[in-house]
Amino acid sequence: MSREPVSLEKAHPLQKALRQNRRSELRMGHPLIHTSLGSEVLDTPHSRIPVSASDGARKEGDTLRKAWMTAGFVIGAMIFLPAAPRAQWKTPWSYSGADGPAHWAQLDPAYAACGGKEQSPINIQNSVKSHLPAMKFELKNGPLDIVNNGYTAVRVDYAPGNGNFVFVGGERYELTQFHFHHPSEEFINGRYYTMGMHFMLKSSNGKTAGIAIMVNVAGANHPAEPPVENVVDTLWKYMPTKAGKPHVIPGVEINPAGLIPRDTAYYVYMGSVTAPPCTEGVKWYVLKTPVTISRERIEAFAKLYPHDVRPPQPLNGRVVEESK
């Protein structure tokens, strides 16, 4: 695993990673049980045979017992079988193969935007230096609501009104979730990083923004950063190893501020969500300074999701600005 960004011209070391298993859904049938009470005769293809009252009662008792047994089986299965992941996507997709990024736009009409002209991520190069507004973070401790959604091992969700804000250019954005990719989805001057983080934000007037943070492997060239390590240690401790539903870890809080580099200079451009439905109109802020995560943590994530990234998309004439 490289400690430095890797050139786009070189073969991607994870391109042949095993295709992620699609999330399966539990579908259970609930039998409709109908009993006929008060019958005094039993019809057969050949004759009508009288049935005594005791026989009828015995048969009704057998039917009711079977009904209760069936109901008990169904309820037991619902309680003890593992829950399926939250159905965020109607049509499954993948990061490779027949339902990989090259085919997303054809998988479902709802994913048509994946073939749009302002898609993300991109390879950032030939950016224009500009006088851009500073970025201010107001992040705080809060409950750890974590999920492995079948496409990333760690996504942390935040409910509306959580009070975690980012201020930039006269806009106030509230944090909705953050998650990890291996390797980074964004390229900077033809190079990708060992991992990447995405912070997704929403303003009160409905605008969507994303902050991308690059990740290096901690080592001699990139010393470990205690604030980052502390947050990552907590996240990885509760990282679900299988896809499932979001769940709050009782008594555990995290502060996402520990994941933000000290220098928040950035690139900015208009793009999209980087997974289906690939909704456009997202303002992306790509921080220029990476953070570091230990090799052990990165390898633990990569064992679960070795390649959960979409390739860089065409710029199509978009201008990328860079803060001075």
User: How much is the pTM?
Assistant: 0.76
Contacts of 124 (CB under 8 A, 6+ apart): 186, 187, 188, 189, 267, 269, 286, 320
| Alpha carbon separation from 167 to 136, 175, 228 (Å, rounded) | 5, 11, 21
pLDDT at 16: 38
DSSP annotation of 37 reads: -
CA distance 64 to 40: 17
Question: What pLDDT was estimated at residue 5?
Answer: 61
Tell me which amino acid residue 125 is. Q
Angstrom distance (rounded) from CA 67 to CA 318: 64
Query: Longest Cα pair distance anywhere in the chain, in angstroms?
Result: 96
Q: Which of these CATH numbers, 3.10.200.10, 3.40.630.10, 3.30.1360.150, 3.40.50.300, describes 87-323?
A: 3.10.200.10
Give first-to-last CA distance, the chain, whole Å: 32
Delimit the domains of the chain by residue range: 41-80, 87-323
Residue-by-residue pLDDT tens, the chain, 324 positions: 444 565 544 444 333 333 333 333 333 333 333 333 332 223 333 333 333 334 444 444 454 444 444 444 333 333 333 334 445 799 999 999 999 999 999 999 999 999 999 999 999 999 999 999 999 999 999 999 999 999 999 999 999 999 999 999 999 999 999 999 999 999 999 999 999 999 999 999 999 999 999 999 999 888 889 999 999 999 999 999 999 999 999 999 999 999 999 999 999 999 999 999 999 999 999 999 999 999 999 999 999 999 999 999 999 999 999 998
d(C-alpha 7, C-alpha 136), whole Å:
31
Q: How many CB atoms lie within 10 A of CB 245?
A: 13
Residue 4 confidence (pLDDT): 52
Question: Which alpha helices (DSSP H) does the chain contain, by range?
Answer: 53-80, 104-107, 226-237, 295-304
